[in-house]
Chain A
């Protein structure tokens, strides 16, 4: 009987356990958790902060579900992997043996290093424990300053608005999320935030945070402006938790490097999810993602491989659906454009792939806040952004992911006077019929 050890209780870890149990009902599975809360929906934290769901709703599985998985659960911080003895060691010095090991410890929000970040009132949308602190602080706060770009920053902004806190949103550049959105899309989101009462400060960075009695009192910008506030929230990137890999000599660059079977350079040691740097055949390089669905599918494949069913991980086109200032937005594949801001660190819910500049032409359709932007390659659509009306979102996801040949409508899509939505809708309807999809 083998012993499977899973380090990390996020989407990748849980998916791996389910795969192993599908093939092997009897072997021992040990799940090592660092957080006392265990498995919860990390993307759901944004909806807990903005009051759409209560805390209890963050937990997809009940105690019964876990007992059916037949696990041994251990709480602890893993320090290193000892490949000679096939064991892992914990921070308290204890060790446990493994036959197959999965490292799925995720990524951590980058902490700001400016002066004053040790004060009470600094928040991150990172873990359940950090978001609980944010909610507690928001109950007493009048004003917050949020720093960062992308999905997580906006989730913090909107969450705090829902908590009835006045928000100042500091953007380093001259517009919001310039490495993924085009300037009109940025403006649309910015205008909607302003309508909600958010004060946006462009090309503004924090110089320092000052405190009174250990609590955040105000920030000072690099241009000398002072904004009194009780909360400062940062969403300035996520980084894979590499402490185990670094201490053990597991090959890693920005994340733990894995092959197509999610194997590391150590025998019987696998990595999956946000901690892993996975080869992306779509763009021909290793890519960092911080996406729930990719973590889940990597965990699933790693689990199968660990239990002896050899399976290649074929990466889907990275995509995410999110709300940007109330506008549902789907981002699929590579949608960067020349002239966009230079590449930035990804935050939670993002993929580096989105920032890629494909060899493609841009086609756009706009109607009020509903927009479709397509990156059109030689005979496929290589990336898409759908804002507002999501009718075509699923169709475009499949068209991009399956590299469906669109050469019959390519010219039409590139003609600005032809309604893009209608062309795509008709194409998709026909394609589904022909391919019995």
Chain B
């Protein structure tokens, strides 16, 4: 368990608690086919699909990190990454 980085699953994915407090939805563009299921299910109408096309994390301050888009995506495009305010670069690179 690596609490310092906010990751506590066995392959380094952030926990639900961490996501709700400091998380961001990050797309993997190569998986996305632009079907738009994510945007369609966003309760506050964020165009998640556009973020996936551009390969940008959903850094919309209105994002509730409710996980609706992550769950509904049929192709596993979206995942949560814990933000790390000291390593902005990592988030911009899709969590890499």
- CB < 8 Å: which of A44, A323, A429 contacts B10? A429
The answer to whether A425 touches B37, judged by C-beta atoms less than 8 angstroms apart, is no
Nearest CB of A to B57, in Å = 15
Do B49 and A60 touch across chains, with their CB atoms under 8 A apart?
A: yes
Any B CB within 8 A of the CB of A426: yes
Interface 0/1 of B41-55, CB less than 8 Å to A: 000000001100100
> Are A41 and B76 neighbours in the complex by a CB distance under 8 Å?
no
B33 contacts A292, CB within 8 Å? yes
| B6-26 interface with A by 8 A CB criterion | 10-13
Please give, as numbers and ranges, the residues of chain B lying within 8 Å of A47 by CB-CB distance: 35, 37, 74
For B12, the chain A residues whose CB sits under 8 A away are 428-429, 432
**Residue B83 lies at the interface, judged by CB distance under 8 Å to chain A:** no
User: Is A328 close to B, CB under 8 A?
Assistant: yes
How many chain B residues have a CB neighbour from A under 8 Å?
24
CA distance A115 to B32 in the complex (A): 38
Contact: B74 with A395, CB < 8 Å? no
CB within 8 A of B53: which of A58, A60, A393? A60
B30 touches A52 (CB 8 A): no
Q: How far is the CA of A394 from the CA of B12 in the complex (A)?
A: 12
Q: Which one of A41, A323, A394, A422 contacts B33 once the chains associate, using CB atoms below 8 Å?
A: A41
Q: B interface, by DSSP: helix, strand, loop or mixed?
A: loop
List the A side residues contacting B35 at CB < 8 Å. 41, 43-44, 47, 53, 57-58
A221 at the A/B interface (Cβ < 8 Å)? no
Complex: how many Å from CA A322 to CA B53?
18
- A395-B11 contact given A60-B50, A322-B75, CB 8 Å threshold: yes
Q: Which residues of B contact A328 (CB under 8 A)?
A: 74-76
- Which of B11, B13, B33, B53 is within 8 Å of A44, CB to CB? B33
CB-based contact B39/A394 at 8 Å: no
Q: Is A57 touching B10 in the complex (CB atoms < 8 A)?
A: no
Asked if B76 contacts A390 (CB within 8 A), the reply is: yes
Note all chain A residues with C-beta closer than 8 A to B28: 394
Contacts of A91 in B (CB 8 A): none
Cβ 8 A contact of A41, one of B30, B36, B50, B96: B36
Q: How far apart are A372's CB and chain B's nearest CB, in angstroms?
A: 13
Whole-angstrom CA separation of A58 from B34 in the bound complex: 8
Interface string of A402-437 (1 = CB under 8 A from B): 000000000000000000001001101100100001
Given the interface contacts A60-B49, A429-B12, does A321 sit within 8 Å of B37 by beta carbon? no
When distances are taken between beta carbons in the complex, the residues of chain B under 8 Å from A293 are 29-33
Asked whether, in the complex, the Cβ of B49 is within 8 Å of the Cβ of A425, the reply is no
Choose from B11, B31, B34 the contact partner of A60 (Cβ within 8 Å). B34
Residues of A within 8 A of B31 (CB): 293, 321
Given A316-B30, A429-B12, decide whether A57 and B76 contact each other with a Cβ distance below 8 A.
no
Whose C-beta in chain B lies nearest to the C-beta of A394? B28
Is A391 positioned at the interface, with any CB of B under 8 Å from its CB?
Answer: yes
Contact A321 B75 (CB under 8 A): yes
Q: CA A429 – CA B11 in complex, angstroms?
A: 5
Closest to B50 in A: A60
**A167–B78 CA distance with the chains assembled, in angstroms:** 32
Q: Does chain B have a CB within 8 A of A392? A: yes
- 10 other contacts beyond A293-B33, A392-B11, A394-B79, with CB at 8 A cut-off? A43-B33, A43-B35, A44-B36, A54-B40, A57-B37, A60-B50, A322-B75, A328-B74, A393-B76, A426-B10
* 23 interchain pairs, CB-CB under 8 A: A11-B34, A41-B36, A52-B37, A52-B40, A53-B37, A53-B40, A54-B40, A57-B35, A57-B36, A57-B39, A60-B49, A60-B50, A292-B32, A292-B34, A293-B30, A328-B74, A328-B76, A394-B28, A394-B79, A425-B10, A425-B11, A426-B10, A437-B96
Q: Report B's interface with A, CB cutoff 8 A.
A: 10-13, 28-37, 39-40, 49-50, 53, 74-76, 79, 96
Q: Which 10 A-B pairs have the closest CB atoms?
A: A44-B35, A43-B33, A321-B75, A57-B36, A41-B34, A292-B33, A60-B34, A425-B11, A293-B30, A425-B10
